[in-house]
Amino acid sequence: MESTIKNLLVGHAQTLFGTEITESSIQFQPTRKDVAGDFTLVTFPFVKMLKCTPEQAGEIIGSFLKTHLTEISSYEVIKGFLNIQLADSYWLDQFKQLSADPTLGLPAPNSKSLIMVEYSSPNTNKPLHLGHLRNIFLGYSVSEILKAAGHSVVKTQIINDRGIHICKSMLAWLKYSPQNEVGERENPANSGMKGDKLVGKYYVEFDKHLKLETEAVLSLWFASEFSGFDKNVVAEVKRLIEAQVGKDEKAIETIQDKIKEIARNQTDLMREAKNMLVRWEAKDPEVYLLWQTMNGWVYQGFEKTYQKMEVDFDKYYYESDTYLLGKDVVAKGLKEGVFYQKEDGSVWIDLTEDGLDEKLLLRSDGTAVYITQDIGTAIERFNDYPDIKGMVYTVGNEQDYHFKVLFLILQKMGYEWAKNCFHLSYGMVDLPTGKMKSREGTVVDADDLMDEVIASATEMTKERGHLDGLSQQDKDRLYTNIGLGGLKYYLLKVDPKKRMLFNPAESIELNGHTGPFIQYAHARIKSLLGKSTEDFSTWNTPKLGSEEKQIIKTLNIFPEVIQTAATEYSPALLANYLFDLVKEYNHFYQSVSILSEEHIDTRKLRLAISATVSKVAATGMKLLGVHVPERM
């Protein structure tokens, strides 16, 4: 209706306003709850054209619209706002179209441009954790919402399978893994441990030993013992130690952190890890075989976790492949003058004129950094899918600067498609116990967390009962759907840009802003519909009550919500819409009779409304990756 009004006003602007207007001057907003109206038109932009007060402008426009549009039953002008009320017949017609449409008004599949969405993209040195859950559920849901909005979508991830962090796990496994009676080192087969968790165990083990060696170096330095260390390192450490004099506590802490970082790089363990990285890039057979073996363990572990999450990918990219392309691109950019080389052989780009800083692209030893492989990956993706009109990177907001630099570098290298790259930046997830740290082993493991919420959902559902007649297999499926549904919804209902606090117990509550609240409403509607034997697909026009009208209005905007959620890459918009819809339905359910309503057409309408709410809830929750059960 808003589009109809815009077209009407633009088409008759010369007659109505004495001048041409554009659609941008026509502004709508929701009607205040304390006044009558289905939507509101702001009249202030037309005051100057009509040379009258805002109230008079509202009367002129309102009278014109009511004369030309039979769908408008009445209007009211309050100050500069024209509150427009639509006829009941309009809302009933809208509802008939929506309820009879199997697609609920959504566009045809693959009718819009191709968009690639990257999510998960884990490191192969540790298992997936709570932070990954928000990333994965967010990326998966954005992909599904984009599909619902008509886009073709390629779901992808970049496997961060190389780098110093991978070498840390590899080296620690070589140095510290125990051997059994036949000389085998600890592995998934003989330990019973998931491969990703086993490798993650040795990443933590590396950090424990690194701390001990670092402390030993620091104790020497603070005792003024510098023999055996590089003279340039010694000079820098002495300078930093002296720089602490007279500084406040915060400045001293910053300086000490710098000294600790230098000390870490002077340990034998860190030197060994760096040497292993150089050997890996040189394709040393021993190192490469170890890398393939341990990564294989991790991939098997990841796949089990993805299956439990019920998420999928269309295309995998591996950093171990794309960093080579990235190095070639950097070499090309160096020849073309986009990049420059320092005396130590390292390659950089100067972005200071763009308000950023200088960025390292290749280290002095020739090894690649993260942005090197990201450059290579982006180029390879657009080569693989030349029709891509958008690339969405689902990555935490601690990488905001990284992606500004990446997109700018790609543009400077002449890749026009770089303007279509978008960083879906999301806030970190905190727990009541505090921030997680992978190196210290304080992360909340994704598998463990999923098991925890499913166990809690099992206990809660058993206490409520109401599952007579279900097989154990169906019960187990229900427990899983409630637990994982609560987890997914809780992580998706918050605006992606916001940092959030996750409470596992709260996520599965039946009351409140939770997934199980919506799941239970769906199950209750299914139970209601199961008690009816009549055909409610058609009805003669009944009187439309306020309860029916309000919920029909909310149902009517479902396609718009999907489109907005797709445009803004925000499942939170859909999640909150579904919660509001279910709240309105619960009010509707408690306020009117449905099965016992005597008027047959009113009863059919209310059953049709119930069925459509159920369908919208099921469709919307599926786009969030959540199953809605028939019984709870």
Question: What digits encode the pLDDT tens for the residues 87-125?
Answer: 999 999 999 999 999 999 999 999 999 999 999 999 999
- The reported pLDDT for the residue numbered 370 is 85
> Residue ranges of the domains in the chain?
2-86, 135-229+266-430, 459-623
Distance (Å, whole) CA 483 – CA 364: 50
Residue 562 confidence class, pLDDT cut points 50, 70, 90: very high
Report helix, strand or coil for 592: coil
Least confident of 41-45, 194-198, 301-305, 442-446: 442-446
Q: Angle at the Cα of 613 (from 610 to 619), degrees rounded to 5?
A: 140
- The reported pLDDT for the residue numbered 240 is 94
Q: Are 244 and 252 in contact (CB under 8 A)?
A: yes
Q: Are 629 and 480 in contact (CB under 8 A)?
A: no
Average pLDDT on 338-350 reads: 94
The CATH fold assigned to 135-229+266-430 is Rossmann fold (3.40.50)
Distance (Å, whole) CA 457 – CA 484: 9
Residue 421 carries which DSSP code? E
- The reported pLDDT for the residue numbered 442 is 54
Could you report the per-residue pLDDT of 421-475, keeping only the tens digit for each? Answer: 999 999 988 877 654 444 444 578 999 999 999 999 999 998 887 788 899 999 9
Distance (Å, whole) CA 599 – CA 573: 37
Could you report the per-residue pLDDT of 27-78, keeping only the tens digit for each? Answer: 999 899 889 999 999 999 999 999 999 999 999 999 999 999 999 999 999 9
Q: Which CATH architecture has domain 2-86?
A: 2-Layer Sandwich (3.30)
Distance (Å, whole) CA 574 – CA 151: 17
Average pLDDT, the chain: 93
**Is domain 459-623 annotated with CATH 1.10.10.970?**
no
- The reported pLDDT for the residue numbered 440 is 47
Question: Does the pLDDT value for residue 168 go beyond 70?
Answer: yes
Backbone angles phi, psi at 158, to 5 degrees: -105, 120
Question: Does the pLDDT value for residue 402 go beyond 70?
Answer: yes
2-86 and 459-623: same fold? no
Question: Quick count: other Cβ atoms within 10 Å of Cβ 154?
Answer: 18
Distance (Å, whole) CA 285 – CA 272: 17
- Return left, alpha or beta for 543; rule: phi > 0 is left, psi -120 to 50 is alpha, else beta: beta
Average pLDDT on 139-165 reads: 96
- The reported pLDDT for the residue numbered 437 is 47
Could you report the per-residue pLDDT of 309-343, keeping only the tens digit for each? Answer: 999 999 999 988 888 888 899 999 999 999 999 99
Q: Are 85 and 96 in contact (CB under 8 A)?
A: no
- The reported pLDDT for the residue numbered 439 is 45
Q: What percent of the chain has pLDDT over 70?
A: 98
Residue 308 confidence class, pLDDT cut points 50, 70, 90: very high
Q: How far is CA 520 from CA 527, 583, 586, in A?
A: 10, 12, 11
What is the model's pTM?
Answer: 0.89
- The reported pLDDT for the residue numbered 341 is 95
Average pLDDT on 523-533 reads: 95
